[in-house]
Structure 1
Amino acid sequence: MTPTDKRAGSDEAFLREVDDAVRASDLTSFWTRYGRWLLVALVAGLLAFGGYIIYKNQLQAAADKQSEEFVDAMDKLRAGQQKEARAKLATLAKADQPGYRAMAQLVEANLLGEDGKTKEAVALYAKVAGDSSLPQTFRDLALIRQTSAEFDTLAPQAVVDRLKPLSTPGHAWFGSAGELTALAYIKMGKDNLAGPIFAQIAKQEGLPPSLRSRAQQMAGAMGIDTVQVDEKKNTATASADNATKGE
């Protein structure tokens, strides 16, 4: 190795040491200047995470308690203890958990209807239907119950317009909304529109048997034999399957 090579290697080692020293100095300076704030941020983050966990646990505990309160209220209703049940429902109607808040109000509206207080029941149904903080499925149910309670006093077209979004086959509330819509069409003298809706209800699986049976009878009264339609459909499907297999 020549003296020049030795000097170059020595210079490189020196520069490396200087670089390491500068980095160490920068790190020490950085930690001195910002270390305390980093620790504060870390502790704050841990506290926030811990607070979130506690908050979630409290929410779950509150939901569990509200569930027990709702079940207890229903048990009291079945036992004929309306005063105690309605007191619990009134409390649940103000609960933070939107699901139980909605259910409590719907049950109370049903009870008002049974008491003959139709206006109060309709007002409460309308309140639930218009409350955007509640789950949509409860709001839809409230709208159906409101419409049912007002059916005799509403213009048939108003019923059709109000329930149009819900009376589509496949919608969760199609059975109830479709039936009211079909009945409104009958009041309008439009049996040609009512019959197909009843037929669709009769053929839709998953709906209550009593509703499907009622719809089948109504469709039949309008000249639509849902059983025969299903048989023709099944025959056509079977023929198509056999033709496919034969190819």
Structure 2
Amino acid sequence: MGVSTSRPEPGVAVVTVDFPPVNALPVRGWYDLADAVRGAGADGGVRCVVLAAAGRGFNAGVDLKEIRRAPGHTALLGANHGCAAAFSAVYDCQVPVVAAVHGFCLGGGVGLAGNADAVVASDDAVFGLPELDRGALGAATHLSRLVPRHLMRALYYTSRTVTARELHGYGSVWRVVPRGELPAAALALAREIAAKDGSLLRLAKAALNGIDPVDVHRSYRYEQGFTFEANLGGVADRLRETFAPGTAAKPDKPAEPAEEDLP
């Protein structure tokens, strides 16, 4: 359990997240993920990083149980800073990052996938921000990198999800493959990227980040201010206490992690 790094072949590092049962990361987990991605990108022998996950889904966001248990706002602040660190590590990684997404990619998972350089997904993958149902805000910055602006708003306000095949139609997912083929498909893209000159890849990554129309760091931190305001005002605690994951699902919304599995 935790975050691990492997080197399946020359030039490629695979960072795998494994926090059963649904990869809802505690504060320490977000920082460990940030350290692993930064470390892989800083390795001169690595030219592409694959971000993957074990278990039922790619990521279910933050560990809400940890936030409920902690006194005051300690865990909330930790989650805010930890998520920002992990998202930034993916975006600022010195080499391209390929996200290999399966199952559910919710909340913080969208932050990771949205900041990746490319996304390969299994045909059962769904992406969404159930933040309004769970007393939170944030990661609209990253969802807007995956879908058009007006769709982002509709998904955000309704807490609905979008499928990998739909994202493939928008061009934000590179390939959609059967679940069993996901590791190989992600590795194939990483291998193709890693075949390029390492020094030039690092320059290309810096150049592409430099021409992005939105500063993802500033944009996400701006969103987090409203998340904290919701907590100070009490609405976040009220919604977290009443949130019941199976009852809030919309009729056409793919199933999310079962209630007993959610943090």
More strand by share: 2
Q: Which has the larger radius of gyration?
A: 1
TM-score higher than 0.5: no
TM-score (norm 1): 0.26
Which structure has more RCO (C-alpha within 8 Å, separation ≥ 6)? Answer: 2
